[in-house]
Structure 1
C-alpha cells in the first residue's frame, strides 16, 4: 500500500472554526479543548468512503464544537472553507487535501491571528494506527502564559483569602484549575464553566459575605504594595479624577504618616449596604476630633458593562440623592472594565463590599470585606491611628561621668 507524507496541524486557538473545516480534518487531526491529538496519515485507505471515522473521533469533534475553547478571542479574518472534489480518484484525494489546506492557511489567515500552523514531516511506513499526542498547548510559551504571569505577579500578596471561599483558587483571567477525575490531568477552565454562573452567591453563604478576611495586623511598610491605578473616575461634584493620586492629593509633604484614607468599594447594591458598618464608626471615631484632617473616607462604586455607561446620568442622579452633600467630593463612580484592578486586590466576588486602609503615599496597609464586626472595626480604627503616628525620634543622650577611680592627690605647690 502506498504511503503519503504525514501532515500535522497545530491549532493554538479553536474558536470560530466552521464545522466544514473540522470535518475536513477528521482523517488527520482530532482537536479537543486544551489538548491537541496529532494523527499521522499513513495511507490513502483512511480517505476512502468505506473507512469512515470511528465513533470516538466523532464524539471528540462534537464535544469540541459544543464547548468551543476560548483561548483565542480574535476572530479569523475570513471563513475557512474547503471543498472536496468527489470526482477525483482516491489516490489523489490526500494530496488534494494537503494542497487545499495549504491554500486555506496562506489566503485566509492574517499575520496577527497565527491560529493555524502546519508542516509536513518525512514519509513513514504504511500503517492504519493513529497516534495521539499527550502534549498540551499550555506547556508551550504563549501570549496567554505571558499575560497570566504578569497578572499573577501584580496581585497583592498580603490580602488574606477566606479558606472556605473560591477566591483562593481563582487564577488571573478568571480561570480555575480543574482535574479530570479519571486521568488526573489538570487544565485551565473558565470560572463560570467550572463553578457555575451563581458561584459568587454560593461563596457569600460559605464565607458569611467575607471572601477576604481582615488583616490581624498592619502590613509592614517595607512590604506594602501601592493601590492599583484606575483612571477616569467621576466625582459627584462633576470632576474627573484618578486613583491612587486622589487619595494623596492633600499630602504635599509626601509623608506616609501624614494621613490615612479608608477606601470603601462596591460593585452591587448589596455590597454598598454593607459598607456603612465600616465607614460610619470610622468617621465617628476619627473625623470629628482635633486630628480630623489626617483621616478621610472615599467611597467608590464600580459600574461594569456597556449598559451602565448608557445609564450613567440616572446612576449619578440617584447616587446624589442617597449621599449627603458634604460627601459628594469623596464619592467616586467608575464606568468601564475594572477586572485587572479587582484581580490585584482579590475582589473576585462582586456582590459584597471591600474596605482598604491606604497610607499617605498610596500603599495598601490593611484590607477587609463584608459586614464589619465590632472587633474588626475597632482593630481598623486602631490601625488607622497607628498609621498616622509620627516616627519616633531617638536622641543620643550624653553619658554622665561615673564615680572617680583612683586616689586623689593634693595639688603640689
Structure 2
C-alpha cells in the first residue's frame, strides 16, 4: 500500500492505467461489498458523506432523494482525470434525464499542506466552478476529499495512484460493478447494462 511513485509509473507504462478489465456483469448483491464511507467537500465548502444510501430510519420524503444508482469516479492524481472523464462523460450522456442516478467525481488531496484549513479554503475557491456540468436531471458533482486515504484505499484494494477508478453502487452503497483506467466501448456497454439492471432492482 505504501509503494512509491516510480512503481506506480512503471506499472502505468505497462498497461496505461488498465490494471484490470471492467466487470462484464453486475456483481450479485449477496457478494457485493459496501463502499467505505468518505467525507467529501464541494468547492463552495459544503461537506457530505458518500455514498448516499438508504436505511430503515428514513421518512418517505428522505427516501425519494436516495439514488437507485450512483457512479463514483475516483482520481488520486491529476493525470487520471482523462481516465475518469471517459466513464463519467458517457454516463452523463446516457442518463442525463434520469432522476434515479447520481454521478460524483472525487479528487483526493492527501498533501498535509493543501489539507491545512486556510490553504484548503483558498484551494476550494480556486476550484470553484459555475456549474456541475450536465443539462438534464443528472448533474456531474465535483467533490474533493482531503487528508490521508491509506485505510480507505486498503478497503478498496487500490494500489496504483496514477490510474482512475470507477465504481457503480446500488441504493444501499454496495459495489455492483467497477472499471479502471480509460473506458473501452465494450466496458461502456457493460456499464450501461449493469446500470439498467440496478435501476430495475426493487
TM bucket by the smaller chain? Answer: 0.7 to 0.9
Q: Aligned in 2, Cα 1:299/1:215: closer, same or farther, shift over 3 Å?
A: same
- Give the deviation of 1:254 after TM superposition: 10
| 2:127 corresponds to 1:316 | no
Q: Identify which of 224, 237, 241 aligns with 2:48.
A: 241
Residue 382 (structure 1) shift? 1.1
Q: 2:63 aligns with which of 238, 252, 257?
A: 252
Aligned partners of 1:254 and 1:360 also within 8 Å: no
Q: Which position in structure 2 is the counterpart of 1:204?
A: 12
Is 1:340 matched up with 2:151?
A: yes
> Any idea what SS the aligned residue of 1:205 has?
helix
Are 2:74 and 1:268 aligned?
no
| 1:140-168 C-alpha deviation (Å, 9 max, x unpaired) | xxxxxxxxxxxxxxxxxxxxxxxxxxxxx
Compute the displacement of 1:331 (Å). Answer: 2.0
Deviations 1:268-294 (A, max 9, x none): 111112211111111111122xxx011
Report the aligned-residue RMSD. 2.6
SS of aligned partner of 1:355? strand
1:314 positional shift: 3.9
- Alpha-carbon distance in structure 2 between the residues aligned to 1:251 and 1:375: 36
Displacement, 1:329?
8.3
Q: Which deviations, in whole Å up to 9, do the C-alpha atoms of 1:183-216 show, x marking residues without a partner? A: xxxxxxxx44xxxx50000111112211243112
1:324 Cα deviation after fit: 3.0
CA contact (8 A) 2:132 2:141 kept: no
Deviations 1:274-319, CA, capped at 9 Å, x for gaps: 211111111111122xxx0111111111100212214323432332
2:38 matched to which residue of 1? Answer: 230
Q: How many residues align?
A: 191
Higher relative contact order (CA 8 A, sep 6+): 2
C-alpha spacing 1:251/1:222, structure 2 compared with 1 (3 Å): farther
State the 1:235 CA deviation.
1.6
Q: Runs in 1 of length 4+ with deviation above 6 angstroms? A: none
- The 1-side partners of 2:65 and 2:140 are apart by 22
2:179 pairs with 1:368: yes
Matched residues in 2 for 1:390 and 1:219: separation?
Answer: 13
Return the alpha-carbon distance in structure 2 between the equivalents of residues 203 and 379 of structure 1.
25
Residues 287 and 295, structure 1, Cα contact 8 Å, conserved in 2: no
How far does residue 243 in structure 1 lie from its aligned partner after superposition? 1.9
Q: Equivalent of 1:282, from 91, 97, 100?
A: 91
Cα separation, partners in 2 of 1:283 and 1:326, compared to 1, 3 Å: closer
Q: Match of 2:167?
A: 356
Q: Scaled by the length of structure 1, what TM-score is found?
A: 0.43
**Helix, strand or coil at the partner of 2:18:** coil
Cα distance in 1 between the residues matched to 2:100 and 2:142? 18
Q: Which has the larger radius of gyration?
A: 1
